Structure 1
Amino acid sequence: MADPTAAAQPPITLYTSAICGYCVAAKNFLRSRGLQWDEVRIDLDPAERERMVARTRRTSVPQIFIGDTHVGGYDDMMALHRAGGLDALLDQR
């Protein structure tokens, strides 16, 4: 049986690479919240790296999207969480 809370969450996309401590930290934080995400490995696909840079105007990873909202990197996500804004994004349907 599918988890009803997982279906209710907006899609989360993480642009990552293999050797990235902040990527691991971001995934661990999301996992601790019981969230699911789609991971896009830019080190494996140069076209995905180009797509990420075009979407974010940033070259560093992770780059995190909740729905269509660009949250930014790990530090940005944690700052949003501390400010109370992350739950509002996660509650959007």
Structure 2
Amino acid sequence: MADIEIFTGPNCGYCREAKRLLDAGGYAYREHDVSQPDAQALMRARLPRARSIPQIFVDGVHLGGSDDLAARLAQGPL
């Protein structure tokens, strides 16, 4: 199974959609809430130019946001 990390925030519809897609596919994932300082620092260290959430990593490789996740899942399992 893929190692999935997702950077999210409160009241983020795109984040909820990404998590819904992962949950529907039965994928386990680690969630980092960027409203928390440690998670925000981790996201900035990994993606210094990112200005939006969610940001999703699969096996350590940046996939993108919820639309990117949906497109990738349409191709088959992660």
TM over 0.5: yes
Match of 1:48 among 39, 43, 47: 39
Larger-Rg structure: 1
Residue among 4, 7, 11 paired with 2:3? 11
**Residue of structure 2 equivalent to 1:27:** 19
User: Where does residue 71 of structure 2 map in the other structure?
Assistant: 79
Identity across the alignment (%): 36
TM-score (norm 1): 0.73
Q: Among 28, 31, 40, which residue is 1:39 paired with?
A: 31
Q: Which runs of 5+ in 1 are unaligned?
A: 1-8
- Residue 78 of structure 1 and its aligned partner are, at CA, apart by 1.5
3-state SS, counterpart of residue 18 of structure 1: coil
Q: For residue 19 of structure 1, report the CA deviation from its aligned partner.
A: 0.9
Deviations 1:6-45, CA, capped at 9 Å, x for gaps = xxx12111101111001110111111101111111111x2
Unaligned stretches of 5+ in structure 2?
A: none
In 2, distance between residues paired with 1:14 and 1:49? 12
1:37 and 1:81 mapped to 2: Cα distance? 15
The aligned counterpart of 1:58 is 50
Superposed CA RMSD in Å reads 1.5
